[in-house]
Amino acid sequence: MLNRLKIRFFHFSEFIAAMALAAIFIIFLLQIFTRYASKISWIIPLPIISDWMNSLQPIGWTVNLISVLWVWIIFFGCSFFVRDREHVVFDLLVLGVPPKIQRIFLILVALFMITIMLYSFGPTWDAIFGSRLMELKKIQTLRIPISGDKIPIKWLFAPYIILMLAVICRYSFQLFSLVNLPRLLEKEKKRGEKS
């Protein structure tokens, strides 16, 4: 049950990242089209379309929106659907020791990661969401569609909070698994003896 839920969440997070990449691609095409439409309007002989293309001006907000989406995709992807083996890992020391020592190393690493992320979570939250500067500084070309207000720069850094929470959850789950591994192996061994 838990494994099926994990797989569905994995697919959902991949879908969100794919939609964000599709949005980046469409926005990029829009940017290219508006930049060069007036230069290629002579290709289309219909005066209505040709005049419309001549009236188009390059859109300034596309570059910033692409940058924001790209940062979100990177942190979101590293948080949820990039597996441990797909990250850069330095496991030469861990793989060179016996399995019992490996388990101890992995428990220590999990404890270290959880501790560091929990310790830095409060100051990071304050730096992003508690800072008056982050609220005052705005992304100049991006606006909220409904109100027209400029978007605060804090939303560019917000996915780091998601990454921190995901790392805490991931290493907590790993720590739980490593601590309970001998007990689970013992249960499996007893089941095998009964059969």
Please, what sign has the CA dihedral across residues 26, 27, 28, 30? positive
What is residue 121's predicted lDDT score, i.e. its pLDDT?
Answer: 94
pLDDT digits (tens, 9 = 90+) for 133-192: 877 788 777 777 667 778 788 888 888 888 899 889 888 988 988 888 766 666 666 666
- Across the chain, mean pLDDT equals 81
HSE toward the beta carbon, residue 98, CA cutoff 13 A: 2
Q: How confident is the model at residue 9 (pLDDT cuts 50, 70, 90)?
A: confident
pTM of the model: 0.67
Please, what sign has the CA dihedral across residues 123, 125, 131, 137? positive
pLDDT digits (tens, 9 = 90+) for 105-114: 889 989 999 9
- The Cα–Cα gap between 31 and 25 comes to 10
So where are the chain's domains? Answer: 1-82, 90-195
Lowest-confidence pick of 16-25, 78-87, 121-130:
78-87
pLDDT over 80 at 123, yes or no: yes
Lowest-confidence pick of 40-44, 58-62, 173-177:
40-44
User: Residue 58: left (phi > 0), alpha (psi -120 to 50), or beta?
Assistant: beta
Of 56-65, 115-124, 134-143, 173-182, highest mean pLDDT: 115-124
3-class DSSP state for residue 146? Answer: coil
- 4-9, Cβ contacts within 8 angstroms, sequence gap of 24 or more: 9/80
